[in-house]
Amino acid sequence: MDAARRIEDALQAALATAGGPGGPPRLAAAMRDAVFPGGARVRSRLTLAVAQACGDDAPEVSDAAAAAIEILHCASLVHDDLPCFDDAPIRRGKPSVHAAFGQPLAVLAGDALIVLAFETIACGASRRPGRIGRLVSTIGAAVGAPHGICAGQAWECEPSVPLALYQQAKTGALFAAATAAGAAACGRSGDAWRPLGLQLGEAFQVADDIRDVYCTAEDLGKPINRDAALGRPNAAAAMGLPEAILHLKRLLASAVDSIPPCPGADDLRRLIVAQTATFLPKELALKAA
């Protein structure tokens, strides 16, 4: 089974538990709306890619880890779109969760998705209990404080925002967890895999900054120029398009070079090069060449 099918099947199974009988149907609907249809599933694909490079000896564990990473990413988008933060009416080309279901259910859906992510790990790794602790601590650190997604969102509430810390927390933390969790799902230490995730996360954020400044809302399926409107740091705005793309290329090259020794290292390098080529529209990359 290919990675995309594994991820979607694991997500469907996880969301089915949240929509079980006796629960509030609109909460279950809001949670599903946040997860399906998905975006590129970049983070969860990365988790499975690392697991496969490390041998993928327990696919049920790596599937659960990938699903948990994706669920947490979706939860962060639900909260990020709320009126108290970005006030974004559109996400992935359709109404954001708060626009479709109202703010109270959006808050609850995001919270419930965070809990569901850890429930997914516990259930998926039940036959490998020795791996649960490392997975929970790895992924938990990427969500909370002081360096996780919540911290990244909280930086937006500070009077000054250091770009590096902001990007590492808001984007890099979950990418680092994605690579570390892929290794941990196979019983390996995830520490050696964190640099790969951090650099890919920073590269993804730079690409996102470029798209925010230079693409259209139709291209992205969400509003553009949000960083400028909300007074947030943006690497592309600060560097200009040619320098930002050069910085992106350096980050991607460094990320590929950081892959630790593993049975599938060569295949993983090729996969990352192919996947990261889609970070920017071709027309935009050619424009800056």
pLDDT in tens, 63-88: 999 999 999 999 999 999 999 999 99
pTM for the full predicted model: 0.93
Query: If you ran DSSP here, which 8-state letter would residue 240 be given?
Result: -
pLDDT of residue 225: 82
In this structure, what is the dihedral angle of CA atoms 96, 197, 270, 38, given to the nearest 10 degrees?
-10
Output the pLDDT for position 2. Answer: 93
- Write down all domains in the chain, each with its CATH number in brackets: 3-288 (1.10.600.10)
Cβ contact 110:54 at 8 Å: no
> What pLDDT, in 10s, does the model give residues 169-182?
999 999 999 999 99
Q: What CA–CA distance (Å, rounded) separates 238 from 107?
A: 33
In angstroms, what CA-CA distances link 208 with 167, 201, 204, 211? Answer: 11, 10, 6, 5
Whether the predicted pLDDT of 281 surpasses 80: no
State both tokens at 108. 């609850």
